[in-house]
Amino acid sequence: MAFFVHHFCRRFSTSAVRNVAIKHVTVIGGGQMGAGIAQVAASTGHSVTVVDTNDDILQKAVKGIEGSLKRVVKKKFADKPEAADAFIQSVLQNVSTSTDAESVVQHSDLVVEAIVENLKIKQDVFGRLDKAAPAHTIFTSNTSSLPISDIASATNRLDRFGGLHFFNPVPMMKLVEVIGTSATSQETFDSLLNFSKALGKTPVSCKDTPGFIVNRLLVPYMMEAIRLHERGHGSKEDIDIAMKLGAGYPMGPFELGDYVGLDTLKFIMDGWNAMDSENQLFVPSELLNKLVAEGKFGRKSGEGFYKYK
């Protein structure tokens, strides 16, 4: 329940450690979000290292970045194939990969964590990185739903810890939610706002409350669509068509759930339900739980509510 309390006063930095310009970024997790964050950071001149658990995943992440860059340059360099190739190469030169997070962070100004939505795993990673990273390094999580202050509690750099919440697909979505806890220093918060702008994104300032702004509205909407379907009040296809054509959404709620990842959606709901089981908006869905138990995570696994090639 403490998480529901708004923190209106942000502590100004009492630390002697000053933030420096962000040049090198470590992205922990090379999945959908980590690869996208690495891509936009590298495209805007930052040197980026993506860290994941094995080289196969990292190779897939770099391939994903290359594929996405090819889509980006189609518009950016429409009739200039050589300039397009040169841009892709220059961005890829800014990206390196590693499975050794502790050694990478020794040279990093910023860490952006985008691993599985699990508090204990995130805390474990940050606890280890805190010992390895220089004092000036800012730590951030891209969590969809977990309290930033809970993740930060595994470290001794509470004033240099915040949230940077990106949206999927990162190269296309213009928003970044910048989250400060009651302990995040103003200097750190300003660095995160400036970093988001340097990526070409529009930041909004958020309190450390469940789902920040977007997910607090978007996740209950997706869940209510699933419950509507479970009650037999509409096929998923009709619900998707209805929200696209009747409300102007680019994707219907089932398409969007598959796009986000049904595992991630379930982790979010389970966490919120554990926090506030009385809230009807946080009631779990049997259908969602069944799909996840069957390994149907959406687009990333080839099947979710729909099948993908």
Residue whose C-alpha is closest to residue 211's, from 117, 98, 287, 77: 117
By C-beta, is 166 or 305 nearer to ligand NAD? 166
Q: Tokens 């806890």 — which residue?
A: 181
74 binds, among ligand NAD, ligand CAA, none (CB under 5 to 8 A by kind): ligand CAA
Quick check: 116 binds ligand CAA (CB under 6 A)? no
Per CB under 6 A, contacts with ligand CAA among 131-150 are 144
Helix, strand or coil, per DSSP, at residue 21:
coil
CA atoms within 13 Å, Cβ hemisphere of 261? 16
Measured CA to CA, the distance from residue 251 to residue 259 in angstroms comes to: 9
Residue 65: partners with Cβ closer than 8 Å, 6 or more residues away:
35, 38, 39, 42, 91, 92, 95
What x-and-dash track marks residues 21-60 binding ligand CAA by CB under 6 A? Answer: ----------------------------------------
Per CB under 6 A, contacts with ligand CAA among 211-250 are 215, 218, 250
171 binds, among ligand CAA, ligand NAD, none (CB under 5 to 8 A by kind): ligand CAA
Quick check: 256 binds ligand CAA (CB under 6 A)? yes
DSSP class of 95: E
Give the shortest CB-67-to-ligand CAA separation in angstroms: 8
By C-beta, is 220 or 234 nearer to ligand NAD? 220
Cα torsion angle, 186, 190, 195, 199, sign? positive
125 binds, among ligand CAA, ligand NAD, none (CB under 5 to 8 A by kind): ligand NAD
By C-beta, is 158 or 265 nearer to ligand NAD? 265
Residues that are catalytic: 144, 165, 177, 215
32 binds, among ligand NAD, ligand CAA, none (CB under 5 to 8 A by kind): ligand NAD
Judged by the rule CB under 6 A, the positions of this chain that interact with ligand NAD are 28-34, 51-53, 57, 114-117, 121, 125, 142-144, 166-168, 260-261, 264, 300
State how beta strands 161-165 and 175-180 pair.
antiparallel
Measured CA to CA, the distance from residue 49 to residue 97 in angstroms comes to: 5
Give the shortest CB-197-to-ligand CAA separation in angstroms: 19
Give the shortest CB-264-to-ligand NAD separation in angstroms: 5
Chain residues that interact with ligand CAA, rule: CB under 6 A? 68, 71-72, 74-75, 144, 167-169, 171-173, 215, 218, 250-251, 256, 260
